[in-house]
């Protein structure tokens, strides 16, 4: 080894040792003990938890069921849905056992050196009303289950083994959807020197950007009397770009300006991330170090122009997402989040609204990395209640603290382009609501002067008259498409955001006849038609929003309700049982695209071809009956054939919103065989074609994973799509076979989901019925690398087998 290389190696080792001494972040994910129930002495060090369940965190205790209509049964009138008379709602919060008290206990070790340091317990979310105990003493408590919070526990720790206990309480009538239960997000132990960079103490902005240079401003709050700061910026390849040293403080804050030449800008199309490494020195000794990923980008909201990113006007092609991950419940999982975003990216989606809660850190990290703009929301209630035990109980004491934590914890994510202080709050009525809206907006502005604030408003007429909507940075309209023009004229901002749009309802692969556009339509099987023409009394079908987006330059985009189905809120069947999850999703609870996915894709994905036919072509007993055929495509015209016979050419036109965005053959008579569509360009030439066929009897199981190789970390997942086909390999779209799942090797069976909102089968039990011919199986890695084998079987079917692998 050459001397220079030898010295470099020594330097790197010393630097690594130095960093390990200045700050450690340990995720407390394993060795947790859990038990549901209120145990009076569970916070004590010597409490006997030997018979408690062993779990890993993140953990959702309620997702394991069973489903029960009596759980959180509510006799209410849902004002947001325009109801005036109370009625029994049985699946509103998912009919899963999330109500009650539970305890978590864990142990961690503290060294003698750590006793001289600052030690922080950081919770990224705990559902809900957490009370935290360490070594038998109460450290503190929080109220909001969606909030990030931390406690300095330096005075509570001791050398050797320390016992952490967490009490959580979920009250009934506390949510409008499935909230989950437990330590559903990460818990971390942070150890650092007394002289340190504050928790969430770094704020990076890019106040000046040109083609040649960008100014990166880094404000850093530090707990130190005398010292200096060195901040270095690295590009995505790890190459040093620029560095700055500062010993000047304003109060407890350093303020540095760093030059980045030829900046690469962050956008959904080019999500380029730089890294800032900030080091705190005292007397030349490194005391703390924090790394922060950030993006260089410019956002503007202007009258007439609307929203622009990096100088280019664009409209949000966004979706709203609740925080549950279908069969995983609310327990956060990065592989599941990445799969969601991958599906949305293919659809052409470029923006996410966290509805109606603070997003997970993992979700924001992925949006930064994969390229999604983000509307980070805070509350579903202010001081006036929607549900008996909702956030209004905490609003006066916690609203400011919760907003401060939201902004401070997430402010460096380039994906966040606006904040939301609320959704459809009853405070939209009256003078007090106007004052609360301003108070909350002012807190956001104080904590982050760089981003605007919105509220999702459904009482638009009231907010037009009271001044509520006028004071917001961005007036957000939830539905109310008939009031867009009036709101634009009344509000002074010069633009309108569709903060929540559509709420079309459908069930994947289910089609109802006759095909007509209807509101609040219900059927005996508790499903909704996938012809995408059914909505609620207060909502609308997608095409009505498309018209506003395309024809009104002052409409700056939309966030569709919702990107995926979610647990709870089973409108329009919230008075029916069994029905325990939503119908609003563009994709179902399993993440399988519904037909509506391709309608949005035909508009939003401007780089890839979309050519999708509906319905399926298995209609035994409907021979000769009218069975309309729709085609969702980015082409303007197409010709349809049934068994080789032309049904004519349809061309998009402006006669109705549906005719403008869909190709529809309304008079097709069903006959089994082949349905074929040929897409035509603007000159009438054939450019693409697609066929679907009538399937025979179910014969074979086909397995298709989203990934064949996963990480051997005990957390990673492969989502395997399971399809039943006939002898000719044609998918069987009406198959409902009961299947069984078995996993061998370096993996385990985690869950399954078929997307059926009426199914009461539990996700974690290795058997489930197909729904519309499909379901999804989740295979989870262990901590051992190796081969994984998934086998799926069903009576009378040729089994499916799949080999996966996990690697360190």
Q: Hey, which residues are catalytic here?
A: 424, 500
Q: What is the rounded distance in angstroms from the CA atom of residue 764 to the CA atom of residue 777?
A: 10
The rounded distance, in Å, linking the Cα atoms of 669 and 619 is: 11
Gap between the Cα atoms of 149 and 142, Å rounded: 8
Closest CA to 344 of 544, 604, 561: 604
Buried b (16+ CB within 10 A) or exposed e, 651-667: ebeeeebbeebbbbbee
Contact 193, 227 (CB under 8 A): no
Closest CA to 525 of 579, 587, 586, 591: 579
Instruction: Return the beta strands (E) in 124-227 as ranges.
Output: 131-134, 137-141, 149-152, 160-170, 187-192, 196-209, 213-223
Cα–Cα distances in angstroms (integers) from residue 626 to residues 616, 660, 667, in the given order: 14, 22, 6
Residue with tokens 């690295």: 234
Burial class of residue 189 in the structure, from the number of CB atoms within 10 Å of its CB (0-12 exposed, 13-18 middle, 19+ buried): buried
Q: What is the spatial distance between Cα 81 and Cα 96, in angstroms, rounded to a whole number?
A: 23
DSSP 504: B
Give the DSSP H or E segment for 647: strand 645-651
Closest by Cα among 705, 677, 673 to 790: 705
φ/ψ region of 649 (left if φ > 0, alpha if ψ in -120 to 50, else beta) reads: beta
DSSP E strands in 532-619: the ranges are 534-535, 555-561, 611-614
Helix H or strand E encompassing 639:
strand 637-642
Task: Confirm if 332 and 574 have CB atoms less than 8 A apart.
Answer: no
Cβ-proximal residues to 125 (8 Å cutoff; 6+ apart), any chain: 145, 146, 147, 148, 184, 185, 332, 358, 360
> Which residue has tokens 């309108």?
496
Q: Which residues pair with 228 in a beta bridge?
A: 281
Backbone angles phi, psi at 85, to 5 degrees: -115, 130
């Amino acid at each position: 080894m050459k001397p220079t290389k030898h010295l470099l190696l020594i330097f790197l080792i010393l630097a690594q040792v130095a960093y390990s001494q200045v700050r450690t972040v340990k995720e407390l994910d394993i060795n947790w003990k859990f038990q549901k129930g209120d145990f009076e002495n569970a916070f004590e060090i010597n409490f006997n938890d030997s018979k408690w369940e062993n779990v890993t965190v993140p953990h959702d205790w309620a997702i394991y069921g069973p489903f029960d209509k009596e759980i959180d049964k509510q006799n209410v009138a849902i004002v947001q849905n325009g109801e005036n008379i109370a009625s029994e709602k049985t699946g509103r919060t998912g009919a899963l056992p999330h109500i009650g008290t539970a305890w978590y206990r864990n142990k961690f070790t503290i060294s003698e050196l750590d006793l001289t340091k600052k030690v922080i317990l950081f919770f990224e979310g705990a559902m809900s009303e957490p009370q935290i105990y360490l070594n038998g003493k109460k450290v503190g408590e929080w109220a909001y289950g969606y909030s990030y919070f931390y406690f300095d526990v330096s005075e509570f720790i001791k050398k050797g083994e320390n016992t952490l206990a967490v009490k959580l309480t979920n009250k009934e009538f506390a949510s409008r959807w499935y909230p989950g239960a437990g330590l559903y997000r990460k818990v971390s132990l942070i150890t650092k020197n007394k002289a340190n960079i504050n928790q969430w103490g770094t704020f990076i902005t890019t106040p000046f950007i040109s083609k040649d240079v960008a100014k990166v401003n880094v404000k850093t709050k530090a707990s130190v009397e005398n010292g200096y700061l060195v901040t270095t910026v690295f590009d995505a390849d790890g190459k040093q770009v620029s560095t700055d040293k500062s010993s000047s403080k304003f109060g407890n804050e350093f303020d540095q300006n760093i030059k980045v030449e030829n900046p690469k800008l962050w956008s959904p199309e080019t999500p380029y991330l730089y890294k800032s490494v900030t080091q705190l020195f005292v007397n030349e000794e490194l005391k703390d170090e924090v790394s922060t990923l950030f993006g260089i980008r410019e956002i503007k909201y202007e009258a007439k122009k609307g929203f622009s990113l990096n100088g280019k006007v664009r409209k949000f092609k966004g979706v709203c997402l609740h925080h549950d991950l279908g069969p995983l419940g609310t327990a956060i999982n990065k592989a599941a989040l990445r799969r969601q975003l991958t599906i949305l990216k293919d659809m052409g989606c470029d923006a996410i609204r966290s509805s109606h809660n603070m997003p997970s850190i993992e979700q924001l990290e992925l949006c930064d990395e994969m390229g999604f703009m983000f509307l980070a929301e805070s509350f579903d209630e202010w001081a006036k209640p929607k549900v008996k035990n909702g956030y209004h109980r905490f609003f006066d004491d916690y609203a400011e603290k919760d907003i401060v934590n939201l902004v401070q914890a997430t402010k460096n994510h380039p994906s966040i382009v606006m904040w939301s202080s609320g959704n459809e709050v009853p405070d939209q009525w009256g003078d007090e609501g106007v004052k609360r809206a301003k108070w909350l907006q002012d807190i956001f502005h104080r904590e982050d002067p760089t981003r605007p604030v919105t509220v999702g408003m459904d009482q638009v007429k009231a907010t037009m008259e009271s001044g509520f909507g006028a004071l917001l940075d961005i007036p957000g309209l939830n539905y109310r498409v008939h009031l867009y023009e009036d709101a634009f004229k009344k509000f002074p901002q010069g633009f309108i955001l569709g903060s929540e749009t559509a709420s079309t309802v459908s069930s994947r692969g289910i089609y109802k006849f006759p095909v007509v556009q209807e509101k609040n339509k219900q059927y005996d099987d508790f499903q909704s038609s996938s012809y995408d023409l059914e909505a609620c009394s207060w909502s609308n079908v997608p095409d009505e929003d498309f018209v506003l987006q395309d024809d009104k330059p002052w409409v700056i985009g939309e966030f569709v309700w919702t990107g995926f189905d979610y647990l709870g809120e089973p409108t329009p069947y919230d008075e029916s049982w069994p029905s325990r999850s939503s119908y609003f999703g563009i994709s179902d609870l399993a993440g399988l695209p519904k037909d509506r996915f391709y309608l949005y894709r035909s508009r939003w994905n401007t780089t890839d071809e979309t050519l999708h036919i509906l319905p399926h072509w298995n209609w035994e007993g409907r021979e000769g009956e009218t069975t309309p055929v729709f085609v969702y495509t980015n082409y303007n015209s197409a010709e349809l054939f049934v068994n080789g016979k032309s049904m004519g050419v349809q061309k998009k036109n402006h006669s109705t919103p549906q005719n403008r965005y869909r190709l529809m053959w309304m008079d097709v008579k069903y006959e089994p065989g082949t349905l074929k569509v040929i897409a035509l360009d603007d000159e009438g030439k054939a450019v693409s074609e697609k066929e679907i066929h009538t399937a025979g009897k179910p014969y074979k199981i086909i397995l298709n994973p989203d990934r064949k190789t996963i990480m051997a970390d005990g957390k990673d997942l492969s989502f395997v799509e399971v399809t039943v086909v006939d002898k000719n390999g044609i998918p069987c779209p009406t198959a409902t076979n009961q299947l069984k799942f078995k996993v061998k090797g370096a993996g385990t069976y985690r869950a399954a989901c078929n997307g059926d909102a009426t199914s009461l089968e539990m996700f974690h039990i290795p058997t489930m019925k197909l729904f519309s011919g499909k379901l999804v199986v989740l295979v989870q890695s262990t901590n051992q690398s190796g081969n994984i084998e998934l086998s799926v079987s069903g009576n009378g079917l040729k089994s499916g087998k799949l080999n996966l692998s996990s690697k360190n």
